[in-house]
Structures are given as C-alpha cells and as structure tokens.
Amino acid sequence: MTLLSSVLLGVIQGVTEFLPVSSSGHLAIAQHLLNISGASESPPFFDVLLHLGTLFAVFAAYWEDIRDMVLEFFYGVSDLVHRTTPRRVPPARRMILLIIVGTLPLFAVLPIKDTIEALGDNMYFVASALLASQLGADLLVIPTGVEKVAINLQDARIADNEGGQPVDCVIKEDGDTAYFATVPVKAMVAKMRENGIPAFVSYTAGTFVCNDLMYSLLYLISKKYPDIRGGFMHVPFAMGQTVDKPNGTAAMAIESIAKGLEYSILAVIENREDISAAMGTTH
C-alpha cells in the first residue's frame, strides 16, 4: 500500500461515512480499483485507524447527543438496580438501547468472521450488497412505494450531479425489456398496511437513477445469481428533511419508515411466492 492510496482511502472513508451509503462497501471498491486485494494487502490496523478517525469526527459533531446517551445509560442501570421506571423513556435512553440491540447481531457472525471478511474481495458480492440496500427518497412518492417492475431505459428529464443526461438509451444491451421484482411485492405492501404503515405497489420507478439501480440489480440476479431475491422501495422523506421543502412534500416519521422496512423484510421471509391481491392502478 502506497502513501497515495492510503490518503485516497482515508478521503473515501471520511466522505462516505456521513452519507447514506456504505463506507465499507466503497472502501472495498476503491481497494479493488487501486489493485489492493483487501484484507491480504491492507493491514487490519489501517482499517481500524480509518474508522477511528471517523469515530472522532462523530464525537465532535454529535458530542451533546453522545453525552446524553452515556448519561442515560447509567441512569437506566440505576433504574434497573432500584427497580424504578420513568414515566416516559427519554429519547437518549431509547437511542442507546437501540444501538445496543443493533450491535448484538454482530456476535452471531463471529464464527464465520473470516468468511465474511473474504467476501470484501468479491466485487460481485459488494456490488450486489450495495444495490440491494439502496432505498430511494422521492418527492413524488406519498406512502412507501414497493416497486414492481424496472425497464431497460434511461431517459433523464434533468442531468445528474455529474452532468450526465442519457436520453432514449438502454441500460443493458443484452438485458430483457423489463424485469419484475423477485421479492413478494404485494405481500410486503399488505404486511405494512396490516401494521398501520401506508404503502402501495408502484408500477414505475422512473426512467433514470432509481429505475437504473433496480434494473441493474435484477439484471445481475437474472444473469449470475438466480437464487437471490431483489427489489426496490421508495420511502418518503423523514419529517426533519422536509422543513425547507415545498408545501405538500411527502414525509413520514423515521420510526414509521423503519417499521415499514422491518415488516417488508418479514413479508419476504414469510412469503416465497407473492400473494394474490388487487393492487393495480388506473393510470
């Protein structure tokens, strides 16, 4: 590993850590492009230092929140010892509990840690994981939209952030005209609705970025990974994201968005085949 590649990896880690993308996934891609073969070439301690640097940045940016969570952790322990319960659980205590619960699954992968780490060198796996984890935030989607189909078309109304604006272009020359989601779309919508989360089946993911992501994922599944199930969901903005948006912008409480995703995953687990239900549209 050269000094230049070390600096580039540090920049990528710093930039992607605070974006809604996988910093580890982008580090793996960068290592591949720089001809660094992952764990075999990149010293483990170097990865630790990269994440330690962003940890310091997180502490600097969210010091007050972190302080409140640490205090609430000890207050919570004290309540357990004295068998007392606050009338209303403070948000900071709830957050630290969620962090603890969210960390517990890591212990389940310890027996296969080496296998998981080795997958970081497999670009097909990294790309599939990134695509499968993407969620679109779209102004025009009112409740949570579970996409049914992706089409082999790029037709951008406006340019993207890099100035690209494909018009009437195919995404994959050897791809089908369209691919249907292989997750049980209607079952996912039904599960969310049963639990009070507004949701609907969407029959168009647009004609550029979101559709491109979904189509590319389903193309990859069709060509190389037929046993993997994939799809795409649009979620509304969280409430705090709409403060400066136009009136009428779709929004949902972050807790409801998270619950909707949980129920969607549960529906995928429970339903190998989709349910039969009328969820079509008139236009």
Per-residue pLDDT tens digits for 157-200: 888 878 889 999 999 999 999 999 999 999 999 999 999 888 99
CATH code of the region 135-270: 3.40.630.20
104 pLDDT more than 80: yes
The answer to whether 20 and 133 have CB atoms below 8 angstroms apart is no
Of 29-33, 157-161, 273-277, least confident by mean pLDDT is 29-33
Residue linked to tokens 């994939």: 230
Catalytic residue among 17, 26, 72, 210: 210
pLDDT of residue 21: 65
- The mean pLDDT value for 252-263 works out to 89
72 counts as catalytic? no
For 95, the token pair is 């957050």
Residue type, 281: T
pLDDT bucket at 140, cuts 50 / 70 / 90:
very low
Q: Over the stretch 224-251, which tens digit does the pLDDT of each residue have?
A: 998 899 999 998 888 778 777 776 677 8
Neighbours of 121 (CB within 10 A): 17
Ranges of beta strands (E only) in the chain are 135-137, 144-147, 149-151, 178-180, 199-202, 233-235, 237-238, 251-252
Q: How confident is the model at residue 139 (pLDDT cuts 50, 70, 90)?
A: very low
Q: Provide CATH 3.40.630.20 ranges for the chain.
A: 135-270
Task: Out of 26, 64, 234, 270, pick the active-site residue.
Answer: 234
Catalytic annotation, pick one of 32, 147, 194, 273: 147
State yes or no: is 210 an active-site residue: yes
> Of 19-23, 39-43, 226-230, 236-240, which range is least confident?
39-43
CA separation, residue 108 to residues 44, 119, 239 (Å):
21, 17, 34
**Rg (the chain; Cα; Å):** 22
- pLDDT category at 219 given cuts 50, 70, 90 is very high
